[in-house]
Amino acid sequence: MVNIGDVARAAGVARSTASYALSGKRAISDEVRLRVQQAAAELGYTPNAGARALATSRSNVIGLLAQFLPDEFAPAMLQYIQGVANTARDLGYDILLSSDPDGPAALKRLTDSRMVDGVVLLNVAEDDERLPVLRTAPQPGALVGLPGDCTGVDVFDLDFEEAGRAMVEHLVDLGHRDLVLVSQPAHVVERGGAYVWRLQNAAIEAAAQRGVRLRPVHGSSSQPDIGRDLHAILDAHPEATGLLLNNEAAAAALPTVMHDRSLSAPGDLSVVGRYSDEFARTFSLPFSSIESAPDRLGRMAVRQLVRRIEHQIPGDAPHVVRFVAPELVDRGSTAPPRRR
């Protein structure tokens, strides 16, 4: 493989001069710079990543810790990964993807080995075991998802409280007084999936304030179980006129379930979900929803991370906790309830 010594020799300069000419880190005469650049191009020179990382203590790689949990709906995960990967590339970073089920160990190895300049954590839990590891690491970290303790990390998430309120308000304003909220499985809550109870508690409170009934229920996070769950839920709550979904699998399964029961939205039931527009297109979902903005969250996380890596913000700059405001995308699945 051609190295910087080959380039230097071809250009007739010292290796240090070649390095500077290529990096632009100090003034080089136009003539020499051009000669070096030309030699590098002709020889097809690409710096050795390991050598550069060793010399600079920088790898230009971002670690992406994404766990494919059996109780998460995989297609929803992909969107975060794409958002992170695309933004990283645009900013000149490669992505090292770790799907290791042992998150803390994987994170420790990635940071201790200096393979990565920073990390993005997905599937963040209330009491995430990766956080203590991350806090002692020299590299900065950005999270997509809100943990209980945000010290030492930058945090980005959808404002699930506001999302819960917005869903309730929207339906109550239309005249609904009997709502059902389908959340993730209880197991996700036990694991510390705070977004479940953040949305749920806010929805319950908003419903109480408006004097309407809201029943929270759990639903499976995979097919075909969730279809069966939805049938049971609709059987159990015939009086409900509004359905709120904080469960992607439920959203994906609902059209079929409604078809089977000859129900249509918003005629028989008003429905509002919480998922991304891309997700809605993938599954052809006809339901209005709170946009969960995975691409935007991934982008925000990477941008902030890169700012810290490149010291574009002072080292002691306070860490941020930033919420994306929920926006309701109207797909026409809500209307005033039918008189009964």
Partner DNA sequence: CTGAAAGCGCTTACAG
Binding positions for a copy of itself, rule: CB under 8 A: 1, 44, 46-54, 59, 61, 64, 68, 73-75, 77-78, 81-82, 85-86, 89, 94-100, 108-110, 112-115, 138, 222-224, 227, 252-253, 255-256, 259, 281-284
Residue 61: name its binding partner from DNA, a copy of itself, none (Cβ under 5 to 8 Å by kind). Answer: a copy of itself
Q: At residue 124, what are phi and psi to the nearest 5 degrees?
A: -75, 130
Using DSSP's 3-state secondary structure scheme, residue 291 falls into strand
Of the residues 10, 13, 254, 280, which one makes contact with DNA according to CB under 7 A: 13
Can you state the percent helix, strand and coil of the chain, rounding each to 5? 45, 15, 40
Name which of 73, 193, 76 is nearest 125 in CA terms. Answer: 193
Q: For a copy of itself, which is the closer residue by CB, 99 or 312?
A: 99
Choose which of 24, 44, 56, 315 interacts with DNA (CB under 7 A). Answer: 56
54 binds DNA (CB under 7 A): yes
47 binding DNA? (CB under 7 A): yes
By CB under 7 A, tell whether 41 contacts DNA: no
**Three-state SS for 135?**
helix
Q: What is Dmax (Cα atoms) for the chain?
A: 89
Burial (CB count within 10 angstroms: exposed 0-12, middle 13-18, buried 19+), residue 269: buried
The least distance separating a copy of itself from the CB of residue 318, rounded to whole angstroms, comes to 26
Residue 58 beta carbon to DNA: minimum distance, rounded to whole angstroms: 8
Does the protein bind DNA through residue 4 (CB under 7 A)? Answer: yes
| Alpha carbon distances (Å) from 126 to 49, 147, 219, 329 | 36, 4, 20, 28
CA separation for the pair 121, 145 (Å, rounded): 8
Query: To the nearest whole angstrom, how small is the minimum distance from the Cβ of residue 34 to DNA?
Result: 10
- Under rule CB under 7 A, residue 27 binds DNA: yes
Closest CB 270 distance from a copy of itself, rounded Å: 20
Q: Which of 34, 41, 42, 48 binds DNA (CB under 7 A)?
A: 48
Compute the distance between CA of residue 257 and CA of residue 270 in angstroms, rounded to an integer.
14
How far is residue 125's CA from residue 331's CA, in Å, rounded to a whole number? 31
In the bound state with DNA, the residue whose beta carbon lies nearer, of 45 and 160, is 45
Q: How does DSSP assign 98-127, residue by residue? A: E--S-HHHHHHHHHHTT--SEEEE-S--TT
Q: How far is the CB of 23 from DNA (least distance, A)?
A: 6
The listed partner (DNA, a copy of itself, none) that binds 74, CB under 5 to 8 Å by sort, is a copy of itself
Tell me: does residue 38 bind DNA (CB under 7 A).
no
Q: Does 17 bind DNA (CB under 7 A)?
A: yes
